[in-house]
Amino acid sequence: MEKTLNEGKDVILEIDIQGALKVKERYNEGVFIFIMPPSMEELRNRIKKRGSETEESLIKRFTAAFQEINYVSNYNYVVVNDTVDEAVRKLESIIVAEKCRIDRMKNDIKILQEGILDGK
């Protein structure tokens, strides 16, 4: 991850709450996006449709997801995963917006300012 970041490339991690909080401690300049289901009922339906859960594990997973929503305030953005295409569009928009932030463009702005002052 360090190597990729040092090359100026974006890194996207799909991690749980605990992992995200640990990464945030180390990389506070990171952008943290919470992916949220459109509703708890829809989440339950999606998990059930996979057919990979027992009733007991479904309840555990659903309970964990319900508790994880309480951590949304630790993130910079929330994206409701209503449809895959729409969620992807929102994620792409966040990435573009973050790349346009002034504090992320300090070097580019400095070079531009120097060029203007030098008459270039």
pLDDT at 108: 63
pLDDT at 53: 80
Tokens coding 13: 């991690």
Average pLDDT over residues 83-91: 96
Distance CA 30, CA 82 (A): 24
pTM attached to this predicted model = 0.78
Phi, psi (5° rounding) for residue 34? Answer: -90, 120
pLDDT greater than 90 at residue 38: yes
CA distances from 34 to 1, 78, 114, 116 (A): 20, 5, 39, 40
pLDDT greater than 80 at residue 84: yes
pLDDT at 1: 80
Extents of the domains making up the chain: 2-117
CATH topology of domain 2-117: Rossmann fold (3.40.50)
pLDDT greater than 70 at residue 37: yes
pLDDT tens digits along 88-108: 999 999 999 998 888 877 666
pLDDT at 115: 65
